Chain A
């Protein structure tokens, strides 16, 4: 069972470089999310997509863009990376319904020098 797959798992960037984090889920979920995790801060929502074709800002969207390519895939792009974006990024998906559980990927550790 693949579940939620994120790539890459590790990445080092220089300030100003761009990159895209890829995420795919094989559970036919409608909703997908990108979170970042920082020490002492828990998980903070960057962007989410309630369904294919829609995206909305979360708590900390500045410096990021997203694309819901199709129902399976939801990518996160950093256009000009900054050291403040050094973090662990998690993609998650969720099924429809009140009991919809969030399923997380294994995370992508990004370091911006």
Chain B
């Protein structure tokens, strides 16, 4: 079954606010990934993390690979209307190139003007 716990389930924020979400796991992952899904579209990769403790930024997005390798967080700074969507964390157990990903349940972000 699903081993990733993603929180919060949903967030209603005002434009300009910062957003923070996280994922925790009962398993140790070798890779953490963060995806965003716009309505009616497939998920798109935002940030990939490959080492414990790694902190990576992509524009207004920052994500970290937890030291224990069992958690990760994603921050969005100064939110804008186009940040609306569902954000998914995903973890990979193996190091094989075809390794299966496990996905969190997603965080629905709604940005109000």
Contacts and interface: CB of A to CB of B under 8 A. Distances in A.
Interface residues of B, number: 27
B104 A97 contact: no
Q: Is the interface of B mostly helix, strand, loop or mixed?
A: loop
Interface stretch (B13-21, B40-48, B64-72, B74-82): B40-48
Contacts of B11: none
Contacts of B42: 4, 90, 92, 104-107
B92 to A, nearest CB: 9
Contact of A42 (B33, B45, B106): B106
A103 to B, nearest CB: 8
Size category of the A interface is 20 to 34
A41 B97 contact: no
A43 B31 CA distance: 17
A40 B105 contact: yes
Contact of B105 (A42, A94, A100): A42
Nearest to A35: B103
A42 B44 contact: no
A30 B98 contact: yes
Interface of A: 4, 30-31, 33, 35, 40-45, 48, 50-51, 58-59, 90, 92, 94-102, 104-107
Interface of B: 1-2, 4, 6, 9, 31, 33, 35, 40-45, 48, 50, 88, 90, 95, 97-98, 100-101, 103-106
